[in-house]
Amino acid sequence: MTASAALPAEWTVPAGHAVTGTLAAHSRLGIGGTIRIGNDENALPALALLREASALAADVGWTAAVDGPVPIWQLTHLPPPRDVSGVAPEDLARWRETFRFGLCYYRRGPGFLTVHDARRGVPTRSTIADPVAIAAVEALRTPRPVADLDPALRDAVAGLADRGLVLHIGRSAMTLPWRPTRWPVPCIL
């Protein structure tokens, strides 16, 4: 990772990847190397970086190789890769055509999360009020081994994964929706 990329201290970019640019609103960011998505849980920190770049509407250049059982629809809220192998050309074309800011994100309220998800084409909005599920979403903002989580959180992770809100690769997992840090539209009171 280069010094110019401002990332949270607990994040690491997997070996073989270099990050160039500054992660800021409407910025450009490059992730060097090929992110291998499927069986290599080392891809999760790079995917988390893509998720955070999405929250800032950053233009990200990256390359992917999909070599495992990851449903592509779960990633379509992330900026599409410049080049990818292991994905049908029509799926990549659909990803590029449908990608836009705000496809999958969550907002936190007092004791609940509201999740907006339009990755499958039909926008849905759901509320998560279970404190354990909320804690699981927050804990997995930084990718980590599921075994390191509390047993109650592990159960919640399974339910969140069934809804496509958590991505499992190997023994690790991460939260897929991004969390906006500021509202992107001016508010008139």
Residue 146 lies in a domain: yes
Domain ranges, residue 34: 19-98
Q: Based on the fold, state whether residues 32 and 73 are members of the same structural domain.
A: yes
For residue 27, pLDDT over 70 is answered with: yes
pLDDT tens track for 150-168: 999 999 999 999 999 999 9
Q: Write out pLDDT tens, residues 54-97.
A: 888 888 999 999 998 888 999 999 999 999 999 999 999 999 99
Residues 83 and 121 placed together within one structural domain of the fold: no
Asked if pLDDT for residue 118 goes beyond 70, the answer is: yes
For residue 32, the SS3 value is strand
Note whether residue 10 is domain-resident: no
CA 18 from centroid of its chain's CA atoms? 18
Q: Are 18 and 33 in contact (CB under 8 A)?
A: yes
Confidence band of 7 (pLDDT split at 50, 70, 90)? low
Which residue in 9, 7, 61 sits closest to 31, CA to CA? Answer: 61
| 53 lies in some domain | yes
**Domain final residue pick, 98, 117, 141:** 98
